[in-house]
Structure 1
Amino acid sequence: MIYIGIDTGTNTGIAVWDNRQRSFISVGCVAIHKALKIVEEYHQKALEAGTRCIVRVEDPRQRTWFKQMPREEERKKLQGVGSVKRDASIWEDFLEDLGVEYEMVAPKRNVTKLPQDRFKKMTGWNKSTNEHGRDAAMLVFGC
């Protein structure tokens, strides 16, 4: 079975975990339209092979906690939050239409912002990653 983690945003983190091999196939960051295509391809391969492909998407719409910050910083942060919330809606609609099994995951239910060295130690993934790819990977690591 294949699990795909999605960290929504301008830079879409995407990680593919093979639970039979107990390892990552890929961890990276791409534009949203490329991530949508990757998910569609894995879903199609799973259908052809008679197996399952499950997508886990970090869903900032489920965030219920906010810390205090200066007004200008708050305004910019809220604009960014609005765009990732929109992206989460796009993902949910896309996955629903495609018929992919998926779960929208609250940010607090995921380990995020791991430095690369700690990520490597935890997962065994030794290739270069960025924050978005690592956040996506932690959505599916160990599934």
Structure 2
Amino acid sequence: MGLILGIDPGAATGVAAYDSGKLVELLTIEPFQLERFLRERAVASPSVLFEDSRLETRLWNARQKGAYGAALATARSVGQVDAWCSLIASLCADMGIPAHGVSPTVKGAKVAAPAFGRITGWTKRCNQHERDAAMVAWKFRNSVALKGRTC
């Protein structure tokens, strides 16, 4: 099956690695470190799955509708993440790494540390960015269908 990488883009970018379906690595890196992270793992012929905010149609929740400041902050944050999603897709294309965007809805809700441990078997400390990265790739961690496909 090989290496499957999950990425949760953001100012604190969560990354996860599954090797033959088993979660083996969780890290938090800055966006400028993405290229190095991918190049270091490219020798293992990985596939990348990243949470892609560009695939989501709903940007903010009902509580923010009347709050201009909150909606503006959300829009700015989503715009930054959209740019990082484009960067991930471009980096992967440049390196010949199959990459697939996963909408936040498909990824699912955030998972607290205790539940994450039960789901994945991960026993070490981790933060929400790392858990999100792992959950982006969770459904696809054993998938051979990802090989050879790109965004």
Give TM-score, length-normalised by structure 1: 0.88
Rounded Cα–Cα distance in structure 1 between residues aligned with 2:108 and 2:15: 15
Native 8 Å contact 1:112 1:138 kept in 2: no
TM-score, length basis structure 2: 0.84
Q: Which whole-Å deviations, capped at 9, do the CAs of 1:31-77 have from their partners, x for residues lacking one?
A: 1222321211111x22xxxxx31000111011112422021111111
1:57-76 to structure 2, matched below 5 A, reads 57-66=50-59, 67-68=61-62, 69=64, 70-76=67-73
C-alpha separation in 2, matches of 1:35 and 1:115: 25
Q: Indicate the residue corresponding to 1:107 in structure 2.
A: 104
Contact 1:29 1:133 in 2 (8 A): yes
Cα pair 1:14 1:35 within 8 Å, conserved? no
Structure 2 equivalent of residue 122 of structure 1: 119
1:26 matched to 2:25? The reply is yes
Q: C-alpha displacement at 1:86, in angstroms?
A: 0.6
- Which sections of structure 2, spanning at least 5 residues, go unmatched? 143-151
Partner of 1:9: 10
- How many residue pairs get aligned? The number is 135
* AA aligned opposite 1:124: G
For 1:61-116, what per-residue CA distance to the aligned partner results, in whole angstroms no more than 9, with x for missing partners? 11112422021111111110110001001111111111101111111110241111
The separation in 2 between residues aligned to 1:14 and 1:41, in whole angstroms, is: 13
CA distance in 2, matches of 1:112, 1:88: 19
Match of 1:84 in 2: 81
- Tell me, which stretches of 5 or more residues in structure 1 are unaligned? 47-51
Q: Provide Cα deviations, 1:110-131, integer angstroms capped at 9, x if missing partner.
A: 0241111110111110111111
Counterpart-to-counterpart distance in 2, 1:129 and 1:111: 18
Find runs of 4+ consecutive structure 1 residues off by over 6 angstroms: none
Identical columns (%): 27
Q: 1-side partners of 2:31 and 2:109: how far apart?
A: 20
